[in-house]
Chains A and B, each alone.
Chain A
Amino acid sequence: MSGTPPVLEARGLCKNFPGVRALADVSLELHAGRLLALLGENGAGKSTLMSILAGVTRADVGDVLVAGQSVHFSSTREAREHGVVAIFQELSLAGNLTVAENIFLGREPRTRWGAIDYTAMNANAQVLLERLGVGIPARTVVSALRVSQQQIVEIARALSTEARVLIMDEPTSALAQREIDSLLRLIGELKRAGVAIVYITHKFEELAGIADDVVIMRDGAVVATRPFAELTHAEIVRLMVGREMLPFAVQTNRATGDEALRVEGVSLPHPSRVGDYIVNNVSLQVARGEVVGLFGLVGAGRTELLETIFGVHRKSARGQVWVAGKRIEGHTASAISAGLALAPEDRKHDGLVLGLGARENAGLASTRAWSRCGFLSPREEERRLGPLFEQLRLKVRSPDPAVLNLSGGNQQKVVLAKWLATEPEVLLLDEPTRGIDVMARNEIYALIHMLAGRGLGILLASSELPEVLAVCHRVIVMCEGCCTGEFARGDATAELLMQAALPRTLARQA
């Protein structure tokens, strides 16, 4: 690496959580104006490393040096004072405040009298936002923004602190392509301005053109530190998983079963804008053994469609849903007993109870069914969940670790185990591989096909083109609440899907 002293250096960091060794002797160096891509499977320790550098948690052993000085951050604020800023996947914005108020929270410009100088604050915020190439008005209340826009506000806030070290955890996971492009452009600018960047991602294609160095982690340890130019894609993947890996091979189309799911005329009105629909008159079918993709950009209404099918919005929604020929009426519980299951997009908050254990979570949807005379039966639980955990290759160390302490990939497996335990007919999967690494991703794809092979119907909502193209027998495209296209496996191409997914006005420009 370059001869200049590092801006930030980590030496021999170790961290243990109950039942989990999160970091083992991790060292790395960050240099001004260079971007370090931090890669690794979920659970490899990237997030833990990031939290230590950003002052969220402390290492059990080891040192962090900023500009050669040993530091011990006990809060993100302290890290920020040393110029180290992190942008987490979970956004940390106050929804009730405006964009400008969020950006300058705790550092508001003051007038002579000590009051907040709103004129200056809004103007400064607007300048920052324009630098990011987005047209978000600085006075907008954050809760009115889409998730992708909120992410940009978060980035703007990090930039406003004149950070010397910027750590980004999958910053593009909720962004549309246009927004990704402007973010990558901005990263280039930041590098030229001398900012050292740590970039955590699972999308390798983003790294070309921005990455200088690569650190690859596995099982809490660093397995490779190399210049990006020296590594090929295949090598990176091999280092991440510790062995050569075949790309996921899709099985042939054998979706000829009976109807598993039929949705007719489902609509969900917008909660506040009268006459506007989040889901607009959607009809679709999924056969037994079929994997149907539901592709769309952020805000297309995929999540809301799945939730509506699942009975979450039964008070406001319209339309009919049949599962295996049975009409579903009423709420979520009746949808579940009819054989529906939903693995939600936000698995940490909607899919899991973080304080409970892996087994307790996995049993949550079905405990009542296997309890004996109204009591829990640990033996019966083991009999039902044990094989499922094995099937999912869900490795847990202590008897029942809190899911809080599990990696994202393992958390998703717990969600899947929970639903498989109910023996469903139809699985609704909402971004099932978001934030999940290549290895666990392929495991989940294989699992999806195994389940389809057993006769389940699967509706998979995703905003990732390669995913829907690789995994699905058929793809339905949504845009602004409507179905705008349907493609059989052979006919679906990235271009066609994207064209259908873009709003009409945009599509014409493209």
Chain B
Amino acid sequence: MKGFSFASIARFQSLLALAVLMLALSLASDHFLTAENGVNILRQISVNLCLSIGLTLVILSGGIDLSVGAVLALAGAVAAGLLKTGIDLPMWNLHLDLTVAGAVMVGVGVGMVAGLVNGLMVTRLLIPSFVATLAMMSVARGLTQLWTGGHPISRLGAAFGFIGTGSFLAIPLPVWIVVVLCGIALVICHRTPFGRHLYAVGGSERAARLTGLNVDSIRVVVYVAGGALSGLAGILVTARLDSAQPNAGLGYELDAIAAVVIGGTSLSGGRGSVAGTALGCLLIGVLSNGLTLLDVSPFWQQIVKGAVIAVAVALDRRNSRQERLS
């Protein structure tokens, strides 16, 4: 499996870094190496991982999605709003109340629509993905404010809240969800023709086209998948807080990009893996958890995170340069 072996060096590095970091933190803090804290870290990273999985697919295809945080907020707000008020269909004189499952589907659906628009902007209107998703970010933020009127939508009921706060076998539900999603994404990337075609499109769009691959539809699919996962992340956040915040997910796109690149996925596409991204998320999560336990100020945490991103990518670049032939 090429996807694995290409990322392997970078992943090995992140694994090593993770191990060293965990060792150091267990020595430095009594509270770090406990089951409770472990669960805590996993819960904290689950939303970022949910966004990062989708973003990895988009980046592997050679694009970028800056709208994930904004779409998260929009999806959460729309789902919460409809869950509270139901849907009025005046022309048929109907009023539908949403079930929890319905609310989840609405959230994911909103994300998919946003992703579809992103995908069509990129493939049909030929807008560079950076610009197209930047536009989507702004639009989604504006729509969220319009929809909520700037106020949080709260008290969504215990059943909905369970998605964010419930647990199964002592592991929080959101963690289960993203672990399963990670598995699905890995299988799709490395065991299906679609996954291989995705790497081909990201590696060389022209070669992929001349091989008869439907490059545009592959790209639309990854944006839709990315949107769906952003929508789901919106549900997770909203359910956990029992409230849809108009400013939810602010800056999350940057955390997600950080996780993807620390995980060894190349921003130019075609190289990397969802497994690396999961590791990148974990690394960021452990780092910020550890620094918090050690009472390091949040300002310093930001500085450390920035340094980690730079170092990780520098190491990755050095490896890929060594791999390259004349």
Contact = CB atoms under 8 A, between A and B. Distances in A.
Interface in B178-228: 187, 190-193, 195-197, 199-200, 203-204, 206-214
B270 A332 contact: no
Contact of A375 (B192, B209, B324): B192
A353 B326 contact: no
B325 interface: yes
B193 A353 contact: no
A354 B203 contact: yes
A360 B326 CA distance: 22
Interface in A393-408: 400, 402, 404-405
Contacts of A333: 212-214
A57 interface: yes
A311 to B, nearest CB: 9
A175 interface: no
Contact of A418 (B195, B199, B211): B211
Interface stretch (A24-32, A125-133, A343-351, A465-473): A343-351
Interface residues of B, number: 29
Question: SS class of chain A's interface: helix, strand, loop or mixed?
Answer: mixed
A17 interface: yes
B325 A332 contact: no
Interface stretch (A180-188, A361-369, A384-392): A361-369
A97 interface: no
Contacts of A367: 193, 196-197
Question: SS class of chain B's interface: helix, strand, loop or mixed?
Answer: helix
Contacts of A275: none
B204 A353 contact: yes
B207 A350 contact: yes
B270 A50 contact: no
Interface string B80-112: 000000000000000000000000000000000
Contacts of A354: 203-204
A405 B325 contact: yes
Nearest to B326: A51
Nearest to B270: A355
A17 B326 CA distance: 10
A57 B323 CA distance: 11
B210 A312 contact: yes
Interface centre among B195, B206, B210, B323 (most CB of A within 10 A): B210
A295 B268 CA distance: 38
B206 A349 contact: yes
B43 interface: no
Interface in B277-326: 323-326
Contacts of B187: 375
Interface of B: 2, 6, 187, 190-193, 195-197, 199-200, 203-204, 206-214, 270-271, 323-326
7 contacts: A353-B200, A353-B203, A355-B271, A356-B2, A356-B203, A364-B197, A404-B324
Interface of A: 17-18, 22, 47-48, 50-51, 56-57, 310, 312, 332-333, 335-337, 342, 344, 349-357, 360, 363-365, 367-368, 371, 374-376, 400, 402, 404-405, 418
List 4 tightest A-B contacts by C-beta distance, closest first.
A51-B326, A353-B203, A336-B212, A367-B193
